[in-house]
Amino acid sequence: MRVSLLTGRTLDQGREKERGKFSEEYTRSAAVCFIDPEDMKELRIRENASVRVITDSGSVIVKARKSLRGPHPGIVFIPYGAWANVLVDPKTHSTGMPSLKGIPAELEPAPQEDSLSMEDLIRKHYRKA
């Protein structure tokens, strides 16, 4: 399903980062994707199911969360954090600012997969020289 990806702050993500970015609580607050209930029905996914979000910059597995304040079909939201930043567009268009909102993305169910912990995500994507 084609969607528009927004990233941003949530109260949970803000609070749980103070417990440490390697904590399970932080992962539960940031490795998630808020989706419109109608879109979840169309994709046949339930709350907490794994979904794959793909953009031109990368792809990541996160847990589906029902968006409480719809309707906003076609718009998904991932809180700030390492999971969201795998997907964002690094182009700054000569402003210094990458594009972190309104990114065209593809959303699909990923029932066989699980979202990665912070350590595993870092290990998967980044290598020291």
Partner 1 sequence: MKLPRISNITCPVCGCLCDDLEVTVEGNSVTDVAKACAVSEGKFLNYGSHRLLSPLIRKNGELVKASTDEAIRRSAEILANASYPILYGWSCTSCEAIRVGLELAEEIGGVIDNTSTVCHGPSLLSIHDVGIVTCTLGQIRHRADLVVYWGSNPWSAHPRHLERYTTFTEGRFQRTEWRRYVSRLGSASAAKRSLRAAKLALKKVLRVAKGPPVQSEYALSRKGRKMIVVDARKTRSADIADYFIQVQPNKDYEVLQALRVLIREGELDVKEVGGIAVEQLEEFADALVSCEFGVLFFGVGLTMSEGKLRNIDAALSLVRDLNRYTKFIIMPMRGHFNVAGANIVFTWQTGYPYAVDFSQGYPRYNPGETSVVDILSREESDASLIVASDPVSNFPREAVENLVKSPMIVIDPHPSPTSIMADVVFPSAFVGIEAEGTAYRMDRVPLPLKKIVEPPEGILSDEEILKRILHEVRKIKQGQASR
Tell me which residue of 25, 27, 26, 83 sits closest to 53, measured CA to CA: 83
The values of phi and psi at residue 121, to 5°, are: -65, -45
Which range binds partner 1 by CB under 8 A, 40-48, 89-97, 108-116?
89-97
Q: Is 93 in the site for partner 1 (CB under 8 A)?
A: yes
Q: Is 11 in the site for partner 1 (CB under 8 A)?
A: yes
Which one of 2, 9, 44, 112 is in contact with partner 1 (CB under 8 A)?
9
Which one of 1, 28, 52, 94 is in contact with partner 1 (CB under 8 A)?
94
Which one of 58, 108, 114, 120 is in contact with partner 1 (CB under 8 A)?
58
Q: Are 55 and 107 in contact (CB under 8 A)?
A: no
Q: Are 26 and 20 in contact (CB under 8 A)?
A: yes
Round to whole Å and give the CA distance between 28 and 24.
6
Could you count the other beta carbons within 10 Å of the beta carbon of residue 29? 20
Which spans of this chain sit near partner 1 (rule: CB under 8 A)?
A: 4, 6-11, 14-23, 57-58, 67, 69-72, 75, 77, 80-82, 85-86, 88-90, 92-102, 118-119, 122, 125-129
